[in-house]
Structure 1
Amino acid sequence: MKNFCSIAVLGVLFFSLVATTDADAQRFTRKKTYSSVGVHLNAMNYFGDIVPEADFTSLRFKSTRPNIGVSYMRRFTPRISVRAALAWGRITGDDAKSASQNEAENYPRFVRNLRFRNDIKELSVVGTIDLFENRGTYLKRPDWSPYAFAGVAVFAHNPKAEDNSGNFVALQPLGTEGQLAADRGAKGYEDQYSKVQIAIPFGAGVRYKLDRNWDLGFEIGWRKTFTDYLDDVSSNYVLSDADLPSAKAVEMANRSFDRSVHGPGQQRGDKTDQDWYIVTGFNLTYILPTNVRSPKFR
């Protein structure tokens, strides 16, 4: 599913870039370029170790959380614009909500009993390509504008989980999979992960022209990350509690109902798949007015 989506979006982007020739860009004068600002209200989901599979079949509406953002976009050619956006959102996962104790294949995940929430702050820059071109001014843009986008993002994250006292505890400083052990390399533990990461955003959307300056859009975008620790779960349980730095780390590292299934050194997550998150929702865009002069006649 993930590979199909990536190939499909990149294919659309490539086709549209080929269709926009140098001659097209030359006929689109600077007087027809324009900028816009927008606000975004979205839903946010994650795909990783605390869902059955990292694709749409694993989407759990109980784990959907809000995402809000602002953006600035500049149109450069009849099809191509560049958009910079700043957003905040939350992702969450819970074994108790995404796995059933009555299903044999999901029972190990249910008794694992892990959960998390993660507030993500994202700065992104993407290129957007419209399906329908507009060679005129912003006043002559199409009523409907389907588009695809892709780019790069940097995001800050900090996974947390609720402890036995009901307090949310930051998990990265605890080294729940042995990342802080003095001899972590010899025992096969990973290095401590960074709370600042890079992602590749891509997706598609459609804009509707409300009036001369306002557009309403709907968009769905995937974020391909390069970390498996959005949920603080990746590989195996530590070989010994002595490899954890504190009693709180011991509490948060293994919360299983059944230690015969989830004991020292046994599988905790799946490090062969990195985590993803997805942002879906609406955006309201205001086109900044430009001087559109009519031809003079003498």
Structure 2
Amino acid sequence: MKFKIFISLSLVLIFLAGALDADAQRRNRYKKRRSKNKRMSSYRGGMVGAKFRPYSYLSANVNALNYFGDLAPVNKAASTDINFTRPGMGINVGHRFTPHLAVRAGFNYGRLKGDDVTSDPNAEDSRARYVRNLHFRNDIKELHMGFEIYLMPNYGGPNMRPDINIYLLVGAAVFHHEPKALVPEFDYTTGGTEPAPQAGEWVKLRKLGTEGQLINSGSVKNSAYSPIQLAIPIGVGINLRLPGPFNAGIEFGYRYLFTDYIDDVSDRYVPFYMLEDDLTRIMSDRAAEPTAAWANVERTSVQVGSTTHPDGQTYYGSPYIGGGLDEKGAIRGNRDDNDMFFMTSLRISMILGQTRSSAKFR
């Protein structure tokens, strides 16, 4: 009898334990389902609950470069002439190592251009630039590294990437530059009757020292600028998913520079007689030239000053400095603001390694 009672109680306890365990499993499944539904309701790309798989990519881009600096049409932020937009190209390699973050490194090449002929000779805020009549071109060769911060996460790796994504770019860059200008046919600083040395050639302005970088006398104490400079790339981009391992995108970038000599213009004029090299004198002050050398158009408002210098020679140049004679150094550029340039890129990228078709939620 006692044995039967023991068996009965044991069966009851086993039944209760089984019922409690079933209820606990049901509650656990409900919690998991509710948690998954909550994640799905806030889904913004990728696969909710999937394990992130890092991946690398290779991209090529076509660039459009625009310059802003001392030779911009007017002295206003982001003032540039879109007619001077110049093409470039680049290549990048990147690695997506979190759902939100990728790191990339790459090389860009492109040309910048500026010319005072684009300034309005009749406007008060640009007349002096037109009279100055300087121009330049500069080939930029840039190595950069930066982070792409994506607004939409990619939870599941390359095969789970969203159809469209927006990212922010910030990084660091080092670049090589060498501003050049076209030599006029004649030496207009001495009246325009003598042929200019290296007439019709594009010459490197940095090596001439057009603002007295190669001399150190009296009030003129400039230092030569380096062809190697640093920059901070900042930008925003949009990525579009293409079939297979490919993406396409567009990126709008800005380069914060630590130099004001992208255009070889920053500080002050140097008196002509202090520049011993004829070519340096010609390229430092071009106000006396009747044409805009690069554009090859006649200038409508040529204003010329002339002064006899201590060397006995009469020189012709900017009317604001009396033909190139100003011991204090008249303003040639704005040294308080560095140059900058903008880069717009069309990108095509390929994910390296295998990609799979997207899996369904589970």
Alignment TM class, shorter chain as reference: 0.7 to 0.9
RMSD over aligned CA atoms reads 2.0
SS in 1 for 2:75: coil
> Which residue is 2:277 aligned to?
246
| SS, match of residue 261 in structure 1 | helix
- Please tell me whether the aligned partners of residues 34 and 290 of structure 1 are also in contact (alpha carbons under 8 angstroms): no
How far off is 1:249 after superposition? 0.3
Over residues 108-139 of structure 1, what are the superposed CA-to-partner deviations in whole Å (9 max), with x where a residue is unaligned?
11010000000000000001100100110201
Q: Which runs of 5+ in 2 are unaligned?
A: 1-48, 185-198, 289-303, 305-317
Aligned residues of 1:47 and 1:53 also touching (Cα < 8 A): no
Q: CA deviation at 1:245?
A: 4.2
Aligned pairs for 1:214-229 (under 5 A) are: 214-229=246-261
**8 A Cα contact 2:94 2:105, kept in partner:** yes
Q: How many residues align?
A: 263
Q: Structure 1 stretches of 5 or more lacking a match?
A: 1-26
Letter in 1 for 2:226: S
Alignment of structure 1 residues 9-48 onto 2, 5 Å: 32-48=53-69
Per-residue deviation, 1:294: 11
Counterpart of 2:236, as a letter, is A
Could you tell me how far apart the structure 1 residues matched to 2:89 and 2:76 are? 23
Question: Which residue does 1:283 correspond to in 2?
Answer: 347
CA shift, 1:244, in A, is 2.2
Higher mean alpha-carbon deviation, 65-74 vs 45-54, is at 45-54
TM-score, normalised to structure 2's length?
0.69
Q: Taking every aligned residue pair, what percent have the same amino acid on both sides?
A: 39
1:100 & 1:280 partners in 2: Cα distance? 27
Q: Of the two, which has the highest radius of gyration?
A: 2
Where does residue 255 of structure 1 map in the other structure?
286
Cα deviations across residues 141-173 of structure 1 (Å, max 9, x unaligned)? 000010001010000000000001221010001
Question: Would you say 1:177 and 2:208 are equivalent positions?
Answer: no
- Distance of aligned partners of 1:167 and 1:79 in 2 relative to their CA distance in 1, 3 Å threshold: same
Q: CA deviation at 1:53?
A: 3.0
What corresponds to 2:187 in structure 1? none
> Which residue among 86, 108, 118 is the counterpart of 1:65?
86
**Does the CA-based 8 Å contact 1:54-1:275 persist in structure 2?**
no
In 1, are the aligned partners of 2:239 and 2:250 still within 8 Å (CA)? Answer: yes
Offset at residue 241 of structure 1 (A): 2.0
2:214 is aligned with 1:166: no
Indicate if the aligned counterparts of 2:159 and 2:358 stay in contact, CA closer than 8 A.
no
Q: Does 1:130 align with 2:150?
A: yes
Compute the TM-score of the two structures, normalised by the length of structure 1.
Answer: 0.84
Q: Could you tell me which residue of structure 1 aligns to residue 128 of structure 2?
A: 108
Cα pair 2:245 2:355 within 8 Å, conserved: no
* Conserved 8 A contact 2:86-2:113: yes
